[in-house]
Structure 1
Amino acid sequence: FYTISKKGVIRAMHFQLVKQQAKLVRCISGHVYDVIIDLRPDSPTFGKWQGFDLTGENQKALYIPQYFGHGYLVLEDSVVSYKCGEVFYGEGDAGIMYNDPDMAIEWPFDKIGGIEKLIISDKDKNLMSLKEYIEKVK
């Protein structure tokens, strides 16, 4: 499937709590700053994140393993394609707030004209914190 997003849209750190998905994402057109975070509680890199510039021009694809959160900030109007290793399971759909202080993701808000230009869905405004996630998966 694919998503079409306007500049300034942020998609918080999404994942499935059950029937975990591996994903392959690519920006077909536009530019997104794509972030993945390790959500495996027993991993030495738990809570660590890494960001990548995906553009229609560079055509880079990003593999997101199971048990990783995934989100992105749209820096230009964009189309992003997804290939998923498991079907979407709505009852297991979950996410962590993009601005959770324990993740401390450095989003490039300057590239959209500042954080005041951010567009966030109602669903993403009500996601859990990293601490709440840890409690949920214990």
Structure 2
Amino acid sequence: MNLHVIPTALPEVLILEPKVFGDDRGFFMESFNAKAFEEATGVQRTFVQDNHSRSACGVLRGLHYQVKYPQGKLVRVVVGAVFDVAVDIRRGSPNFGRWVGVELSAENKRQLWIPEGFAHGFLVTSEYAEFLYKTTDYWHKDYERTLAWNDPDLKITWPNLPQIMLSEKDRCAPTLINAEVFN
């Protein structure tokens, strides 16, 4: 697997571009290869769960994380497009409270590696999107937390859409200053 790694403003968060082989019949790509992932990124992880969601335009999911059993996530979009965001929520980190946002789409086939210790969310910018992600730990409802997507201290520059649709838990999420995060 030829995997091109693009650094982001947060050194631990990486954009991955797999090699895509295409012709007039379509395309082929290896979406994940553990050995190639480790060689390209220097990150050695075991993924234990795959998730798949479909959301309409304007749906914002996040910013989610787990305080115990934190999850690293390798995310990608297979239909449509999203604006994907990772926020460093490790209190001792020099980048605490900083965020990075990347467009992920079926067209660009980019993936984003978001390590443990980061909150994650995305906003659907196409008519709808199908979002896939691998996680390094299982989902644990009791330890799931949500951070306010519109926290004024984070100043995330989300795409300007006519309507944002949120779940109840995302609508009521605390700001970073009031959230339970990693020490």
Question: Above 0.5 in TM-score?
Answer: yes
Greater CA radius of gyration, 1 or 2?
2
- Aligned with 1:119 (options 165, 168, 173): 165
Name the SS of the counterpart of 2:142 in structure 1: helix
Q: Which residue of 1 aligns with 2:136?
A: 85
Q: Which residue of 2 aligns with 1:35?
A: 85
Letter in 2 for 1:36: A
Once the two structures are superposed, the pairs formed by residues 50-65 of structure 1 within 5 Å of their partners are 50-65=100-115
Q: Which residue of 1 aligns with 2:149?
A: 98
Name the SS of the counterpart of 1:127 in structure 2: coil
Compute the displacement of 1:12 (Å).
2.1
Letter in 1 for 2:131: V
Answer 1 or 2: higher relative contact order, Cα 8 Å, separation at least 6.
1
Using the aligned pairs only, state the percent identity. 36
- The normalised TM-score by structure 2 is 0.70
Name the SS of the counterpart of 1:34 in structure 2: strand
> Over aligned residues, Cα RMSD in angstroms?
1.2
Name the SS of the counterpart of 1:104 in structure 2: coil
The reply on whether 1:7 has 2:57 as its aligned counterpart is yes
5+ residue gaps, structure 1, are none
- The normalised TM-score by structure 1 is 0.92
For 1:94 and 1:50, how far apart are their aligned partners in 2? 19
The 4+ residue runs of structure 1 with deviation greater than 3 A are: none
